[in-house]
Amino acid sequence: MPNKIRNEFIIRLLIPTALMAAGLLYLGSLWDARMREQNLILIQPVVVLMIPFYLAAIFFEYRRYMREMASARTAAVDSTPERDPEESAVQQMPRAVRNQAIFMGMAAVSVVGFYVLGAIPATLLMILAGLLILGVRRPIILVGAPLITTLVLWAIFVEMFGIRMLLFPSF
């Protein structure tokens, strides 16, 4: 439990630090820009203003970490071998969370799919993969949903609106 809290604390510190670092890097990249006053008119005060709020966010996370560690220690002392009634529900959570993470990963990969395969194969594969990841096993849905959705999208966007897009692989 303390390890989990510590890991989460590290992630919680990383997020504001990443935002602050991105802001500082952005400001630094424009420091020698031509017409600096105009280029930095908003960026400079915003980055300067970010610093106190970054520190406040870090302080907030530290206080939270200390509070959680204290309650974890208390819970460890008070713990009994009896099973928590919510434990089974908690144990089921990782599967849903894992599927969610895989679904997000699939969404990221499908962006590459659009470039490499073209819109139609990428859409078919994206929907099919999404359905499989989220646990759909009925063949009619696995075949029908990607096909019908892609066909409708193609008819609306390409045929009706005349939007130009790479539909199939260009190689």
Which residues bind to other proteins, rule: CB under 8 A? 11-12, 15-16, 19-20, 22-23, 26, 29-30, 33-39, 41-43, 46-47, 49-50, 53-54, 56-57, 60, 96-97, 99-100, 103-104, 107-108, 110-111, 114-115, 119, 123, 126-127, 129-131, 134-136, 141, 145, 149-150, 153, 156-157, 161-166
Distance of CA 39 to the CA centre of its chain: 31
Q: Which is nearer to other proteins, 161 or 171 (CB)?
A: 161
Best CA proximity match to 106, nearest among 131, 138, 139: 131
In terms of CB distance, is 103 or 168 closer to other proteins?
103
Nearer residue to other proteins within complex by CB, 1 or 56: 56
Min separation Cβ 139 and other proteins, Å: 13
Query: Closest approach of Cβ 156 to other proteins, in Å?
Result: 8
Min CB(82)–other proteins separation in Å: 28
Smallest distance from the beta carbon of 28 to other proteins, in angstroms? 11
Nearest to 19 by CA among 62, 65, 57, 72: 57
Say how far apart CA 15 and CA 9 lie, in whole Å.
10
Structure tokens at 23: 């802001």
Signed CA dihedral, 23, 26, 30, 35: sign only: negative
Residue indicated by tokens 């939270």: 64
Please compute, for residue 104, the number of CA atoms within 13 A of its CA located in the half-sphere on the CB side.
5
Check if the beta carbon of residue 166 is closer than 8 Å to that of residue 118: yes
Task: Give 27: exposed, middle or buried? Use CB within 10 Å, 0-12, 13-18, 19+.
Answer: middle
Which C-beta is closer to other proteins: that of 66 or that of 165? Answer: 165
**Closer of 34 and 83 to other proteins (Cβ):** 34
Q: How far is the CB of 77 from other proteins (least distance, A)?
A: 28
